[in-house]
Chains A and B, each alone.
Chain A
Amino acid sequence: MPRPRKPIPGVDAKQLIGDAGKLLPVPSRRLFLRGVVSVGALASLTGCDIVDGPTAENSLRVISNFNDWVQARLFSRTTLAPTFPESDVMRPFRFNAYYDEDDAPEVDGDTYKLEIGGLVDNKKSWTLPELYKLPEVSQVTRLVCVEGWSAIGSWQGVRLSDFLKLIGADTRAKYVWFQCAEGYSNTIDMPTALHPQTQLTLKFDHKILTKAYGFPIRIRIPTKLGFKNPKYVTAMWVQNNDAGGYWENQGYNWFSGL
């Protein structure tokens, strides 16, 4: 998909290049099946070659796509994620990324602009002072990581559905795509983007997001696994094509709904 290559405001290009090296998938990780004893046991049980690497991997991806479809139907726009009292919030909240906290992107808030694109009426970029003026909503919800652990956090920001309305987004479009300062990216389905708890998050625990928690913007989606909650967001596009995402492209289930 063609994307403008102009520099993203507030992002240190040198650091971006440094981080880009980490984005290359580890080759061994792409083979889910190599040298696995359990698979050998399966092969001898079935007596046929269903566990031939690429064949099995393709079959698993087909079923994963089917699971996307199932999850989209299980998803309800009105079912809310359970909420908790502020006293349940984990403090300090757990930092999590595929890099160390020291390597998290440093975004300059003074020059930062949230870039808007795709199927929207008003493509004007947004500065942080402009975003901080918008009506604030708050939630205390559980962030569930794909690894299995979870943590309760308190997030404040703009309801994403309100923001989409404000910029005149075509909500009949299928996807919303997010680009992040360190090169991370994420695509979510429009029904999830319009869920009342999906938030363009500016604060954690009523304080402006710190570098560790995704300054200046995190998209908080309590109906999806943590990796579908992008941090350090620099651009948002409303579109009809699925642009994938950092982890989805390496094999995590696309919908990853909760």
Chain B
Amino acid sequence: MTIEAAAPSSLAPDAAVRPLIHPGWVRVTHWINALAMLMMIGSGWQIYDASPLFGFVFPPQIALGEWLAGALLWHFAAMWLLVINGIVYVTLGVATGRFRSKLFPIRPREVVRDFVAALRGKLAHDDLSVYNAVQKLLYAGVLLAGLVIVLSGISIWKPVQFWWLTAFFGGYNTARYVHFAAMTSIVAFIFVHVALALIVPKSLRAMIVGR
């Protein structure tokens, strides 16, 4: 095959006209984050089971690490992936202006309007590059949950060296509940996020190939 024959216009006419929705750094950090989150949540459930905060445990079949020691090894290995990848993502999100242009402003009236439209199945997804108000709120919210889960996690990991951070979260015991609540909100987000990505498959394609 010659170079000329491989020209985008002749091979994939769609791709040429579709605008780029997610630049490369968004897609790479997104999927690294997905992997890191899977490892952190799976091992976190196993760790939770060693000393449950509530009257239930997570089934060992969906937890990572076989037993407490293995889960802790996973958790404190994957944390580096999660945090380093998160720092790269947030830095680029702020530096490129993507956060500001995509996520803000979030107006409560628009959130209500779009939420009602979504429930009626009337929310349009014509332009994937523009987020509706519900999306903006959820994406900004899960970023906040990510920040809370990392900081509360550090306060549980190092309640002596970072005693001031642990105190900020209301002490060691309360910090465990904060960490759990942040995990719960992230898992809830993942359910909604994955369900909607499957309902609107072109959004999943955009997160893979960019367009």
Contact = CB atoms under 8 A, between A and B. Distances in A.
A75 B51 contact: no
Interface in A30-44: 31-34, 36-39, 41-42
Interface string B14-47: 0000000000000000000011001100100001
Interface in B73-113: 73-74, 76-77, 80
Interface residues of A, number: 45
A4 interface: no
A251 B69 CA distance: 5
B interface, size bucket: 35 or more
B69 A250 contact: yes
A64 B73 contact: yes
B178 to A, nearest CB: 13
Contact of A60 (B35, B47, B77, B172): B77
Given A60-B77, A64-B73, A147-B50, A46 B67 contact: no
Contacts of A82: 159-160, 163, 166-167
Nearest to B176: A148
Contacts of A33: 65-66, 70
Given A33-B70, A38-B42, A144 B159 contact: yes
A67 B74 CA distance: 12
Interface stretch (B56-64, B129-137, B191-199, B200-208): B56-64
Contact of B160 (A42, A79, A145, A253): A79
A66 to B, nearest CB: 9
Nearest to A75: B161
A36 B63 contact: yes
B125 interface: no
A34 to B, nearest CB: 6
B42 to A, nearest CB: 4
Contact of B159 (A34, A247, A258): A258
The 3 closest A-B pairs by CB, nearest first: A32-B70, A251-B69, A38-B42
